[in-house]
Amino acid sequence: MTGAGQGPSAASPDALPFDPIGDALGRIRTEFLDDHRGEVADYIPQLGEADPAAFGLALVGVAGSVYRVGEADVPFTIQSISKPFVYALALADAGIDDVLGRVGVEPSGEAFNAISLEPGTGRPSNPMINAGAILTTSLVRGTGPDERFERIRDLLSRCAGRVLEVDDAVFRSEHETGDRNRALAYLMRHAGSLTADVEAAVDTYFRQCSVLVTAVDLATMAATLANGGVNPRTGEEVLGQSAAEQVLTVMATCGMYDYSGEWLFRVGLPAKSGVSGGVVAVSPSQFGIGLYSPRLDGRGNSVRGVAASEAISERFTLHLMHQVGRTAPTFERVAPDVGLVVAADDQGTSVSVGDAPRNADVAVLAVQGYLEFASAEQALLALRTRTDDTDSPEALILDLGHVTRCHPVAAALLDAMIEQIESRGVTVVTVDRRERRLLASSAEFTTRSEALARCRGGWRER
Ligand code: GLN
């Protein structure tokens, strides 16, 4: 058994002497360690044997770092946490329209094993409750149950970054006691939403529920979703970016069964829980969290998993609706008096920075950071202000060398603005020392001096 803050692999940050993130997780674990509320699931004997004291927390960042405390390496069956990942596979196999036609994306507000089917069509409310999950599983491609399951296991394994095994005893018990799930499948088959064979569909579903994982595996799987479908530890693109987004959306609205609304209100993260005590939560673009504590509340969610997630979200300010503000200025200033305007001179190449006169002929606007809608909007404003007034330069150099990433929306907005500026007779060129051709509308140079030489040439010709 691993104690708080111990047991990491050598490459983990929690092997290092100073680990504020691991320490914070350790404190949260200690805080809820004595919460003994709830009951361990015992509808099958194997789940009833789980150690009720076990409490593991793991966090995996999108850069691939792993933080773990407590029983983060204890194996347990994944159960319902398999559902979002199998949903991703069904989306990839059957396409979004086909899947949406068979399984909804509306929160049911009911228990995980409720008979929540749309009147008339028999369409289950969402893929996170059992009915929807059984139907989702039946949509995964495969020549039979074995191939279908192997494809599911392969996907779960690639999200976890290691080959995951099945707990055969759990599978057999699920199979023997799974009549309610069978009944759900028969109802769906009767209504026409489930077209696959009932036994084959539930067999694959029971197998996927019986895959063994640890809290670290769950955190890695969650981090894969946080990272747009790329496993941050292996670098493999396991899911498409839009599938990752779609899965996270359904987790946000339906992942915690009939607690989903209050969970989103309090914790504010896409999440999924399972009956063996696992919870995954995802902070999009940031990291994934995996928790394990087997005692469940009345809705089938891990008591300490929910409490610790709430604390993690609050302490690390992770709520999705939280307004983060801009982290870095988008620009170096363009006004001549702060020195980023290039003055005309007769040498043809020298770039004067810091002492440019007001009537400079070439202005440099340097953009930095991640260019998305909001930062592009700032860039558009700066471009417009700089070229609208009476001392508009003859040419404008847009330096994109410090742009870390450019969203296609930002590129389209900037391209449109550049075309407008050029239609007013101002030459616009871009500089990017990495030669990425982020914008389509203007000539690109690798240095500001080359761009300047080009601007001057164009200016003299006029
Ligand atoms: N195997 C369980 C079932 O189908 C999974 C449900 C859950 O994790 N909530 O009943």
Say whether 257 is catalytic: yes
In a domain, 44, yes or no: yes
Task: Looking at the CA of residue 79, tell me the nearest atom of ligand 1.
Answer: 8
- Indicate whether 181 and 261 sit together in one domain: yes
Query: Which residues, including other chains, have CB under 8 Å from residue 329's CB and lie 6 or more apart?
Result: 368
Q: How far is CA 290 from CA 19, 192, 273, in A?
A: 18, 36, 10
Say whether 392 is catalytic: no
Phi, psi of 264 (to 5 degrees): -65, -35
Angle, vertex CA 171, rays to CA 168 and CA 174, nearest 5: 150
Under a CB-based contact definition with an 8 Å cutoff, are residues 250 and 99 in contact? no
pLDDT tens for the chain, 462 residues long, are: 333 444 344 445 555 567 889 999 999 999 999 999 999 999 999 999 999 999 999 999 999 999 999 999 999 999 999 999 999 999 999 999 999 999 999 998 888 888 888 888 889 999 999 999 999 999 999 998 899 999 999 999 999 999 999 999 999 999 999 999 999 999 999 999 999 999 999 999 999 999 999 999 999 999 999 999 999 999 999 999 999 999 999 999 999 989 999 999 999 999 999 999 999 999 999 999 999 999 999 999 999 999 999 999 999 999 999 876 654 445 554 443 333 333 333 333 233 333 334 345 778 888 888 888 888 888 888 788 778 767 678 888 888 988 888 999 999 999 999 999 999 888 899 999 999 999 998 899 999 888 888 876 644 433
Q: Could you count the other beta carbons within 10 Å of the beta carbon of residue 28?
A: 24
> Is residue 328 exposed (0-12), middle (13-18) or buried (19+ Cβ within 10 Å)?
exposed
CATH of the domain at 347: 3.30.750.24
- Indicate whether 302 and 349 sit together in one domain: no
In a domain, 1, yes or no: no
Spatial separation of the C-alpha atoms in residues 114 and 122, rounded to whole Å: 13
Tell whether ligand 1 has an atom less than 6 A from the beta carbon of residue 442: no
Q: Residue 209 — left, alpha, or beta (φ > 0 → left; ψ -120 to 50 → alpha)?
A: alpha
Tell whether ligand 1 has an atom less than 6 A from the beta carbon of residue 174: yes
In a domain, 11, yes or no: no
In a domain, 298, yes or no: yes
Q: Could you count the other beta carbons within 10 Å of the beta carbon of residue 104?
A: 21
Phi, psi of 265 (to 5 degrees): -65, -45
Residue type (1 letter), 11: A
pLDDT of the residue at 337: 34
User: Could you give the count of Cα atoms lying within 13 Å of 365 in the half-sphere of its Cβ?
Assistant: 22
Q: Where are the beta strands (DSSP E) in 271-327?
A: 271-273, 278-283, 287-292, 295-296
Spatial separation of the C-alpha atoms in residues 357 and 177, rounded to whole Å: 83
Nearest CA to ligand 1 atom 2: 79
pLDDT of the residue at 380: 85
**Host domain of residue 451:** 340-461
- Indicate whether 309 and 352 sit together in one domain: no
Under a CB-based contact definition with an 8 Å cutoff, are residues 222 and 283 in contact? no
Which residue from 112, 171, 280, 292 has its CB within 8 A of the most atoms of ligand 1, so it is best to mutate? Answer: 112
- Indicate whether 162 and 254 sit together in one domain: yes
Q: How far is CA 326 from CA 169, 369, 374, 414, in A?
A: 52, 10, 9, 19
Under a CB-based contact definition with an 8 Å cutoff, are residues 352 and 336 in contact? no
* Tally of domains in the chain: 2
pLDDT of the residue at 114: 84
Under a CB-based contact definition with an 8 Å cutoff, are residues 70 and 25 in contact? no
- Indicate whether 233 and 89 sit together in one domain: yes
- Indicate whether 279 and 350 sit together in one domain: no
In a domain, 199, yes or no: yes
Q: Which of 67, 87, 205, 292 is catalytic?
A: 205
User: What is the biggest distance separating any 2 CA atoms in the chain, rounded to whole angstroms?
Assistant: 88
Residue 369 is classified by DSSP as E
- Tell me, rounded to whole angstroms, the distance of Cα 399 from its chain centroid: 30
Residue 2 is classified by DSSP as P
Token pair 């707990």 is found at 167
Spatial separation of the C-alpha atoms in residues 27 and 167, rounded to whole Å: 32
CATH of the domain at 182: 3.40.710.10
In a domain, 389, yes or no: yes
- Indicate whether 208 and 143 sit together in one domain: yes
List the structure tokens of 187: 């109802």
Which residue from 82, 209, 306 has its CB within 8 A of the most atoms of ligand 1, so it is best to mutate? Answer: 209
Pairing relationship of beta strands 212-213 and 76-77 according to DSSP bridges: antiparallel
- Indicate whether 205 and 140 sit together in one domain: yes
- Indicate whether 288 and 360 sit together in one domain: no
- Indicate whether 293 and 423 sit together in one domain: no
Q: Helices (DSSP H) in 166-259: which residue ranges?
A: 168-177, 179-191, 198-209, 215-226, 241-254
Ligand 1 geometric centre to CA of 45 (Å): 14
List the structure tokens of 413: 């907005």
Ligand 1 geometric centre to CA of 275 (Å): 6
Q: DSSP readout, 77-91?
A: E-GGGHHHHHHHHHH
- Indicate whether 383 and 305 sit together in one domain: no
Ligand 1 geometric centre to CA of 274 (Å): 7
Q: Which of 74, 82, 83, 306 is catalytic?
A: 83
Nearest CA to ligand 1 atom 4: 130
- Indicate whether 388 and 311 sit together in one domain: no
Grouping H, G, I as helix, E, B as strand and the rest as coil, residue 295 is strand
List the structure tokens of 217: 């595996």
Say whether 80 is catalytic: yes
Tell whether ligand 1 has an atom less than 6 A from the beta carbon of residue 112: yes
Spatial separation of the C-alpha atoms in residues 260 and 351, rounded to whole Å: 58
List the structure tokens of 74: 């204890």
